[in-house]
Amino acid sequence: MSIITIVGAGMMGSAMSIPASDNGNEVRLVGTPLDRKIIDNARKNGYHITLKRQLPQGIKYYQIEELDEALLNCDLLIGGISSFGIEWFGEVVLPKIPKSLPVLLVTKGLHAMEDGTLVPFPEYLATKPGCDNLSINAVGGPCTSYELADRNNTVVAYCGRDTNILLKIKEMLSTDYYHINISTDVTGIETAVAMKNAYALGVTLAVGLKEREHGIGCKEDYNPQAGLFLQGTREMYRLLKIVGGREDSIPYGVGDLYVTIFGGRTRKIGTLLGRGLTYKQALEELSGITLESVAITKVAFNALKKLSERGKADINQFPLLSHIYDLINSNATVNIPWHLFEESEDLLRKI
């Protein structure tokens, strides 16, 4: 049995407690300062108020002030924070742990350097004071928190620099429903799964456009969604080539894109924009929900602009991302540039 400490009691961090517990480990779930109500309630009856699931018996719950106790003698630290908490995690949590303790991030996102270079979160966190020489690994692939919590068959990839460490982490968490591949392509997998949030927003624009014409709840059209899905995967592939990721990492981003378009915050914002709301109006309707799809769109687009200026990329090769950026940055209305998705084989060979 291993001791696994999860910092971040949001939906995905908490869902990770289920395969961890099912595999016979001692699980400690630590709330961030934003998770106090979640931890307070779970201490009473084991029920997670946002995941809306009963967590396994035996999980130990901690508030952030009890972090040192929760880290004592643990064998794995899981970072269950969102991309908006990545700086906090790197500055508050990671400096407390020993160099020998492996870390596994569920967080999806990219950090843009001043020159436009895109860096996956594990590599970015390693540059933080006190975080050098840590083994920071990450999860990528199609996985929703509520289906993992329901023990539905789920296939993911754990990526990191050290295969032996990845194998040890896999041994701690693998179950008969949670299937784990391992990969050393941190850049490729993390870029692909981060960008799926932006492109899932793009695909669901088609849902809103249909509802604008025929009313909310009407039968969906799938050709437009599939066309946007195709373009999204094409642009994900191009970005992977720019950042130096491997082609065989693309399927994890594509699978994650597929599952994301069916529900959650990203589908909501894409649908609202498709119905004709401006980004500002859509935010008001969503009443303060944090949107990682918006964050990654801004990071990736602005980075590509800088890379284009340096001759390292061509922003014109990302028409769907550019349109999504216009929607959220300029309060533009949806006008999908379908004609820019048409390409010849000669052009594709040059990419």
Q: Is the domain defined by 194-350 classed in CATH 1.10.540.10?
A: no
Element housing 119 (H / E): strand 118-120
> Which residue is associated with the tokens 């084991």?
46
User: Cα dihedral angle (298, 158, 236, 304), rounded to 10 degrees?
Assistant: 40
Listed residue (137, 250, 275) closest to 199, CA to CA: 250
Task: Read off the DSSP letter of residue 314.
Answer: -
Q: Read off the pLDDT of residues 71-88 as tens digits, 9 standing for 90 and up.
A: 999 999 999 999 999 999
Question: What was the pLDDT predicted at 349?
Answer: 54
Listed residue (196, 185, 198) closest to 245, CA to CA: 185
Q: Read off the pLDDT of residues 242-278 as tens digits, 9 standing for 90 and up.
A: 999 999 999 999 999 999 999 889 999 999 999 999 9
Element housing 7 (H / E): strand 3-7
CATH architecture of 3-184: 3-Layer(aba) Sandwich (3.40)
Mean pLDDT of the chain: 95
- Determine how β-strand 118-120 pairs with β-strand 110-112: antiparallel
Residue ranges of domains in the chain: 3-184, 194-350
- The residue-averaged pLDDT of 20-43 equals 97
Contact in structure between 30 and 6 (CB atoms under 8 Å): yes
Question: What was the pLDDT predicted at 336?
Answer: 96
Look at residue 325 and tell me whether its pLDDT is greater than 70.
yes
Element housing 68 (H / E): helix 67-71
When mean pLDDT is compared across 79-83, 132-136, 233-237, 340-344, the lowest value belongs to 340-344
Look at residue 347 and tell me whether its pLDDT is greater than 90.
no
Look at residue 348 and tell me whether its pLDDT is greater than 60.
no
Look at residue 338 and tell me whether its pLDDT is greater than 90.
yes
